[in-house]
């Protein structure tokens, strides 16, 4: 049944354009295996000149492996690659000419200036055999102007906003004569307006016939800006089509292979008694601000980039101290000297970066779930009952694969995040603080995580605080949202007024008209 | 797969020493490579013991020889455990051997110079080593000095303290009570071996079966995650260094009791390399990738039986440092090679499975057509 669907989608995409120019890149049946993991089973990809081509798929679907093979970082185990009309060896060992790969971290030298960064890649301008930095500066300025970007090219890259740094990375790639760009989640950390700026740059490139492969998790990027998409699922290309007429629901279905999980919040009843309350609290990068979260309530805190909301989340868990104001928990004033105090009070915390601070990758899922075994110190840890509890938890949180003896690194990002949630919710906390709960999580897993949060609320006891820069997410799952701008709460919205647009507007520090 | 993970970066990256590992972890347990990895070391131990016993049945193959080796190696095994405990939380203790050397000096010195009764002298020597272990922990935990540097410095200072205490003169003539204790027997095996086994069992229980062991492993695997789970990192780091000092102190005091004297410069340094070699080699066995008590003990015995066997067939004493140093390097290289081999095998299986699936699909499609026609 799936097979027929795939075929029709292939036809739907390619059949329309008969006079299409030859593709710049054609990948057929690409295969790559890491250990026991089939990263790519049968991947196809076809990119035409001047096309913005979205490469989509859940975490672990094979997107980054495909890009790694194309960049010559790792040899493929089978398949064919045709680049600019000629065969490209599977075990290249170096980046192919005419292609440029821009990773999420951009690969810029942060302490060097924009002009120096570009010169390092394409070679310094020379005068009498010496580096001619003025010529480098002129060249950099010209390159960026060509993209419609005006910035001081003598400043160190680290001083520039992320959007400008992305532009620098793109211009550097173009300076090497690239005709095919690969961008890995370029908008993941950009604010909406900045992301729009990036797509303006990309559409200029389209006019010059430069093609662009865009790896992204954002549905709006795909629907608004891509010309065509290829969807990978479990290492196979399951759909290739034009992006015109694509709806978000359809996208989710293509990516996850399932009907989108309709998000239906459980009834938003009256909030119970106040669980967490901050009064005039301040800390590094935020405050003074006040907020309260009641039992059975999901409250959001959102803001743009550095609005102070992430540090606020850390302060609520005692990771950073409050420098002013008070915090009370269940109507009792508390002072958190560290996360131990917060845990003892009944607060659970899911950090934004699960790899560095959430889970120990070299340990098994079971060991991560029960990092601190809940028993007397003289009582030996018995692995059989623990294994059973771990398996039950993993089933409850729909973790795939469900074997608790797997190392964390064997799970995809979304499943790792579910393990992290399970670890904390298994302790039945009184309050749950989620810092960026779905960052770097694929759409299917994201919906499941939202569902988990909703169920946590449904008990009516737990207070849930969701700290996120994802306005769609916050608007969708929260009952009430505090909007932060430059460290303070600028507004609080709930009910029908709670929309992603409203949150965005407020996050810029503007009042709604 | 063994990740000889010493620092946090290693645990994040999935082990730089462990070679390139796929990001998706391990699936095929129970394969030949896996079993060889787990039980290779104990099998090698038996092979070495049997082979040399057959070669020299009159000398090597006697119980008295094995008893003597167990007796000597009980000190090395204790120092190896002292080194292993901090490794679990991701810290080096390069001072463990020198610390044992100091306990050796102190136990004999307290009896000889201060005229303290030997049991009290024994306890005081262990206490002194424990204090040094705690000092190591405080320097690493509170002052945030890299443990490699901190304990290297401490190790050198300990030797200086030993020279200061002895006045650069070797101490001899320990009281009979002490040497009787050190050279005593319990049934067929020596007292030292019995004590080493008891301490090994305690370390085994704490590090591998009690909640404390799980927490130590978590601290070693990801400090930030452990901290956010409510663990006090310093408590575990300081605790492990204190335990290391305690165990090293016991090893040294026991050695002093067996020896009945002490060298002014400290006799510990000879234990350092065999101890680290055993801890690393041991981490490739039983639970690959994790430092474990059983593996460490088996590794100590394996190295000792190998060296003694080679010496009995006529190889000169130069063989000992070569075997120990070589074992350290081989242990790390072996685990990297094993993990690569394992990945390659898993990959081959997957490729075969995929190809079979494709052939079946093709055959199925062909059959479908012919049926339809």
Domains of chain A are 2-98+179-256 (3.40.50.300), 282-359+415-507 (3.40.50.300)
Count CA atoms closer than 13 A to B157's CA, side-chain side: 11
Residue A131 at interface with chain B, using a CB cutoff of 8 Å = no
Instruction: Work out the pLDDT band at A451, boundaries 50, 70, 90.
Output: confident
- B25 to A373: CB separation less than 8 angstroms, yes or no: no
Strand, coil or helix: what is A50?
A: coil
**Distance from C-alpha of B231 to C-alpha of B225, rounded to nearest angstrom:** 9
pLDDT tens track for A47-60: 999 999 999 887 66
pLDDT at B89 over 60: yes
The pLDDT of residue A67: 87
- Test A410 with B26 for CB contact under 8 angstroms: yes
Q: How many CB atoms lie within 10 A of CB A85?
A: 10
Query: What percentage of chain B reaches a pLDDT higher than 70?
Result: 86
**Residues of chain B contacting residue A368, judged by C-beta atoms under 8 Å apart:** 225
pLDDT at residue A188, rounded to an integer: 67
Question: What is the crossing angle of helices B233-259 and B211-221, to 10°?
Answer: 110
CA distances from A83 to A51, A391, B316 (A): 15, 46, 64
Of B309 and A270, more confident: B309
- CA distance from start to end of chain A: 51
Q: Residues B104, B165: contact at Cβ < 8 Å?
A: no
The whole-angstrom separation of Cα A198 and Cα B220 is 42
Separation in Å, CA A403 to CA A372, A390, A419, B30:
20, 9, 12, 16
SS3 A18: coil
What is the per-residue burial (b if ≥16 Cβ within 10 Å, else e) of B158-175?
A: bbebbeebbeeeebeebb
**Residue A65 — pLDDT band, cuts 50, 70, 90?**
confident
| Cβ <8 Å between B228 and A372 | no
Residue matched to tokens 């009896």: B111
Residue B266 confidence (pLDDT): 84
The three-state (H, E, C) secondary structure of chain B, written as one string: CCCCCCCHHHHHHCCCCCCCCCCCCCCCCCCHHHHHHHHHHHHHHHHHHHHHHHHCCCCCCCHHHHHHHHHHHHHHHHHHHHHHHHHHCCCCCCCHHHHHHHHHHHHHHHHHCCCCCHHHHHHHHHHHHHHHHHHHHHHHHCCCCCHHHHHHHHHHHHHHHHHHHHCCCCECCCCHHHHHHHCCEECCEEHHHHHHHHHHHHHHHHHHCCHHHHHHHHHHHCHHHHHHCCCCHHHHHHHHHHHHHHHHHHHHHHHHHHHCCECCCCCCHHHHHHHHHHHHHHCCCCCCCCCCHHHHHHHHHHHHHHHHHHHHCCCCCCHHHHHHHHHHHHHHHHHHHHHHHHHHHHHHHHHHHHHHHHHHHHHHHHHHHHHHC
Any A CB within 8 A of B211 CB: yes
- The residue-averaged pLDDT of A363-375 equals 90
pLDDT surpassing 50 at residue B12: no
For chain B, the straight-line distance linking the first and the last C-alpha, in angstroms and rounded, comes to 53
Identify the pLDDT of residue B190: 95
A 258-287: CB under 8 A from B? none
pLDDT at B20 over 50: no
In this model, does residue B103 exceed pLDDT 50? yes
Chain A, window 35-94: residues with a beta carbon less than 8 angstroms from a chain B beta carbon: 35-39, 41, 60, 77-78
Query: How much is the pLDDT for A59?
Result: 62
What confidence tier does B24 reach under pLDDT thresholds 50, 70, 90? very low
Contact call for B22 and A31, based on CB within 8 A: no
* pLDDT tens per residue across span B212-264: 999 999 999 999 999 999 899 999 999 999 999 999 999 999 999 999 999 98
Question: Among A203, A118, A134, A122, which Cα is nearest to A169's?
Answer: A118
User: What integer pLDDT is reported at residue A11 of this predicted model?
Assistant: 40
Residue A511: both structure tokens together: 């009042």
The answer to whether B329 contacts chain A (CB < 8 Å) is no
Residue A150 CB burial class (10 angstroms; 0-12, 13-18, ≥19): exposed
pLDDT at A511: 55
Q: What pLDDT shows up at residue B205?
A: 95
Look at residue A25 and tell me whether its pLDDT is greater than 50.
yes
**What pLDDT was estimated at residue B13?**
33
CB atoms within 10 A of CB B226: 24
How much is the mean pLDDT over chain A?
83
pLDDT at A235 > cutoff 90: no
Q: Is the CB of A372 less than 8 angstroms away from the CB of B26?
A: no
Which pair of tokens denotes residue A139? 């060249």
Per-residue confidence band for A353, with pLDDT thresholds at 50, 70 and 90: confident
Q: What is the reported pLDDT for B33? A: 58
**Bond preceding residue A401 cis, omega within 30 of 0:** yes
Lowest model confidence (mean pLDDT) among A1-15, A317-331, A498-512, B107-121: A1-15
Domain ranges of chain B: 8-362
Any chain A CB within 8 A of the CB of B232? Answer: yes
Phi, psi (rounded to 5 degrees) for A333: -70, 130
Q: Cβ neighbours of residue A500 under 8 Å, at least 6 residues apart?
A: A471, A472, A474, A475
Chain segment A92-105, per-residue pLDDT in tens: 677 788 888 888 77
Query: B266 vs chain A: nearest CA distance in angstroms?
Result: 37
Region A351-369 average pLDDT = 87
Does residue A17 surpass a pLDDT of 60? no
Q: What's the gap in Å between the CA of B126 and the closest CA on chain A?
A: 24
Q: In this complex, do A360 and B11 lie within 8 Å of one another by their Cβ atoms?
A: yes
What local confidence, expressed as pLDDT, does residue A264 receive?
58
Distance CA B95, CA B151 (A): 5
Q: How far apart (Å, rounded) are the C-alpha atoms in residues A399 and A390?
A: 11
pLDDT bucket at A334, cuts 50 / 70 / 90: very high
Q: pLDDT band for position B25 (50/70/90)?
A: very low
pLDDT at B348: 77
- C-beta separation of A435 from A467 below 8 A: yes
Cα torsion A101, A102, A103, A108: sign: positive
Instruction: Assess A362–B contact: CB distance below 8 Å, yes or no.
Output: yes
Q: Percentage of chain A surpassing pLDDT 90?
A: 25
Phi first, then psi: give them for residue B165, nearest 5 degrees. Answer: -65, -40
Q: Which residue has the tokens 């030292």?
A: B192
Phi, psi of A289, rounded to the nearest 5 degrees:
-150, 160
Q: Tell if the CB–CB gap between A373 and B211 is shorter than 8 Å.
A: yes
Query: Do residue B354 and residue A31 have CB atoms under 8 angstroms apart?
Result: yes
Flag whether pLDDT at A5 surpasses 80.
no
Section B304-325 average pLDDT: 91
Q: What kind and span of H or E run contains A116?
A: helix A114-122
- With beta carbons under 8 A apart, name residues in chain B contacting A402: none
Domain B8-362 fold is ABC transporter involved in vitamin B12 uptake, BtuC (1.10.3470)
What's the rounded Cα separation, in Å, for the pair B307 and A374? 46
* Contacting residues for A130 by C-beta, under 8 A, at least 6 apart: none
- Whether A358 and chain B come into contact, CB under 8 Å, resolves to yes
Residue B19 has pLDDT above 70, yes or no: no
Q: Which residue of A317, A373, A407 is in closest CB contact with B26? A: A407
- Rounded to whole angstroms, the Cα distance separating B96 from B23 reads 36
Average of pLDDT values for B315-327?
90
**pLDDT reported for residue B272:** 93
CA dihedral (A340, A342, A346, A350) in degrees, to 10, reads: -90
Residue B342 confidence (pLDDT) = 62
**Which whole number is the average pLDDT over A124-140?**
83
Residue A2 DSSP label = H
What is residue A77's DSSP assignment?
S
Angle between the N-to-C axes of helices B118-141 and B233-259, in degrees from 0 to 180, rounded to the nearest 10:
150
At residue A504 the predicted structure's pLDDT band, cuts being 50, 70 and 90, is confident
Looking at the complex, does the CB of residue B30 fall below 8 Å from at least one CB of chain A? no
pLDDT recorded at residue B183 = 94
> Considering only alpha carbons, which residue of chain B is nearest residue A39?
B24
**CA neighbor of A143 nearest in space, from A117, A110, A168:** A168
Asked if the model's pLDDT at residue A13 lies above 70, the reply is: no
Average confidence (pLDDT) over A125-133: 80
Do the chains contact at A35 and B221, CB–CB below 8 Å?
no
Using the Cβ of A406 and the Cβ atoms of chain B, whether some distance falls under 8 Å is answered with yes
Q: Are B249 and B130 in contact (CB under 8 A)?
A: yes
Chain A residue with Cα closest to B2: A362
Buried b (16+ CB within 10 A) or exposed e, A163-175: bbbbbbbbbbbbb
Spatial distance between the Cα atoms of B45 and B47, rounded to a whole number of angstroms? 5
Choose between A172 and B97: higher pLDDT: B97
The residues, any chain, with a CB within 8 Å of residue A323's CB and separated by 6 or more, are: A282, A283, A284, A287
Nearest CA in chain A to B357: A41
Q: Would you say residue A1 has pLDDT above 50?
A: no
Q: Calculate mean pLDDT across residues B312-322.
A: 90
Q: At what angle do helices B32-55 and B293-312 cross, to 10 degrees?
A: 30
**0.80 exceeded by pTM:** no
Mean pLDDT of chain B: 86
pLDDT band at A9; cut points 50, 70, 90: very low
What residues have CB less than 8 Å from B218, skipping those under 6 apart? A360, A363, A367, A371, A372, B225, B226, B229, B231
Closest CA relative to residue A38, chosen from A257, A232, A241: A232
pLDDT band at A281 (very low <50, low <70, confident <90, very high): very high
Say if residue B365's pLDDT is above 70. no
Q: Check if the beta carbon of residue B86 is closer than 8 Å to that of residue B202.
A: no
A86-90, A390-394, A432-436, A462-466: segment of lowest average pLDDT: A86-90
The predicted model gives B280-289 an average pLDDT of 86
Q: Is pLDDT above 90 for B301?
A: yes
Give yes or no for a contact between B177 and B115, defined as CB atoms under 8 angstroms apart: no
B165 vs A452: which has the higher pLDDT: B165
């Amino acid at each position: 049944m799936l097979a027929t669907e795939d075929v029709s989608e292939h036809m739907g995409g390619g059949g329309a354009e008969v006079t299409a120019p030859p593709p710049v890149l054609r990948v057929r049946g690409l295969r790559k295996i890491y250990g026991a993991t089939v990263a790519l089973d049968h991947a196809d990809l076809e990119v035409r000149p001047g096309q913005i081509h979205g490469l989509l798929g859940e975490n672990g679907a094979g997107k980054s492996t495909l890009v790694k093979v194309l960049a010559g970082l790792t040899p493929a185990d089978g398949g064919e690659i045709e680049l600019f009309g000629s065969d490209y060896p599977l075990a290249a060992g170096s980046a192919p000419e005419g292609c440029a790969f821009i990773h999420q971290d951009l690969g810029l030298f942060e302490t060097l200036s924009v002009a120096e960064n570009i010169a390092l890649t394409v070679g310094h301008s020379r005068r009498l055999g010496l580096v001619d930095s003025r010529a480098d500066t002129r060249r950099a300025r010209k390159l960026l102007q060509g993209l419609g970007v005006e910035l001081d090219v003598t400043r160190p890259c680290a001083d520039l906003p992320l959007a400008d740094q992305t532009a620098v990375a793109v211009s550097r790639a173009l300076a090497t004569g690239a005709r095919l760009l690969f961008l890995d989640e370029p908008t993941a950390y950009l604010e909406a307006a900045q992301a729009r700026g990036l797509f303006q740059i990309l559409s200029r490139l389209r006019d010059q016939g430069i093609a662009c492969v865009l790896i992204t998790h954002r549905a709006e990027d795909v629907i608004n800006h891509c010309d065509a998409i290829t969807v990978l699922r479990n290492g196979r290309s399951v759909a290739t089509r034009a992006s015109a007429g694509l709806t978000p629901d359809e996208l989710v279905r293509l990516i996850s292979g399932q009907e989108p999980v309709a998000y239906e919040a459980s009834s938003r009843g009256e909030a119970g008694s106040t669980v967490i309350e901050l009064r005039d609290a301040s800390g590094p990068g935020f405050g003074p601000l006040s907020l309260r979260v009641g039992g059975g309530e999901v409250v959001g805190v959102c803001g743009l980039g550095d609005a102070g909301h992430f540090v606020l989340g850390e302060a609520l868990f005692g990771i950073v101290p409050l420098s002013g104001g008070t915090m009370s928990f269940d109507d009792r004033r508390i002072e958190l000297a560290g996360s131990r105090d917060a845990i003892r009070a009944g607060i659970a915390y899911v950090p934004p970066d699960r790899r560095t601070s959430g889970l120990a990758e070299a340990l098994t899922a079971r060991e991560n779930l029960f990092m601190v075994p809940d028993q007397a110190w003289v009582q030996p840890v018995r692995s059989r009952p623990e294994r059973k509890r771990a398996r039950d938890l993993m089933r409850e949180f729909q973790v795939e694969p469900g074997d608790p003896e797997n190392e964390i690194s064997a799970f995809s990002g979304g499943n790792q995040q579910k393990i992290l949630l399970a670890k904390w919710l298994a302790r039945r906390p009184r309050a749950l603080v989620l810092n960026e709960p779905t960052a770097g999580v694929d759409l299917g897993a994201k919906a499941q995580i939202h569902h988990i949060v909703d169920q946590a609320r449904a008990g009516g006891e737990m207070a849930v605080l969701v700290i996120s820069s994802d306005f769609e997410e916050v608007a969708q799952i929260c009952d009430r949202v505090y909007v932060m701008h430059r460290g303070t709460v600028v507004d609080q919205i709930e009910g029908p007024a709670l929309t992603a647009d409203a949150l965005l507007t407020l996050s810029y520090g503007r009042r709604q008209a | 797969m063994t990740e000889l993970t010493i620092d946090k970066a290693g645990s994040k990256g999935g082990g730089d020493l462990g070679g390139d590992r796929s990001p998706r972890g391990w699936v095929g347990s129970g394969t030949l490579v896996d079993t060889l990895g787990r039980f290779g070391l104990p099998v090698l131990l038996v092979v070495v013991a049997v082979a040399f016993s057959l070669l020299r049945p009159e000398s090597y193959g006697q119980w008295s020889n094995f008893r003597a080796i167990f007796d000597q190696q009980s000190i090395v095994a204790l120092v190896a455990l002292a080194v292993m405990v901090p490794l679990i939380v991701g810290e080096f203790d390069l001072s463990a051997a020198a610390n044992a050397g100091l306990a050796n000096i102190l136990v004999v010195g307290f009896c000889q110079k201060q005229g303290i009764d030997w049991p009290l002298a024994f306890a005081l020597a262990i206490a002194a080593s424990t204090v040094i272990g705690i000092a190591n922990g405080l320097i690493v935990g509170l002052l945030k000095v890299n443990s490699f540097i901190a304990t290297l410095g401490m190790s050198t200072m300990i030797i200086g303290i030993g020279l200061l205490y002895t006045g650069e003169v070797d101490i001899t003539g320990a009281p009979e009570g002490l040497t009787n204790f050190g050279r005593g027997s319990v049934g067929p095996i020596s007292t030292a071996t019995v004590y080493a086994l008891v301490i090994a069992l305690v370390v085994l229980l704490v590090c591998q079966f009690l909640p404390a062991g799980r927490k130590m492993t978590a601290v070693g695997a990801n400090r930030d995650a452990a901290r956010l789970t409510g663990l006090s990192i310093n408590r575990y780091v300081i605790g492990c260094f204190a335990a290391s000092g305690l165990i090293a102190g016991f090893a040294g005091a026991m050695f002093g009791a067996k020896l009945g004297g002490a060298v002014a410069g400290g006799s510990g340094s000879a234990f350092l390399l065999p101890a680290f070699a055993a801890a690393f080699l041991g981490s490739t066995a039983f639970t690959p990738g994790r430092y474990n008590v059983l593996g460490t003990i088996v590794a100590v015995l394996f190295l000792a039986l190998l060296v003694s066997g080679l010496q009995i067939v006529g190889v000169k004493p130069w063989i000992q440092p070569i075997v120990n140093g070589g074992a350290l390097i081989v242990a790390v290289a072996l685990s990297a090679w094993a993990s690569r081999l394992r990945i390659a095998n898993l990959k081959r299986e997957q490729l075969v499975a995929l190809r079979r699936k494709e052939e079946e699909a093709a055959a199925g499609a062909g059959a479908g057509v012919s049926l339809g026609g």
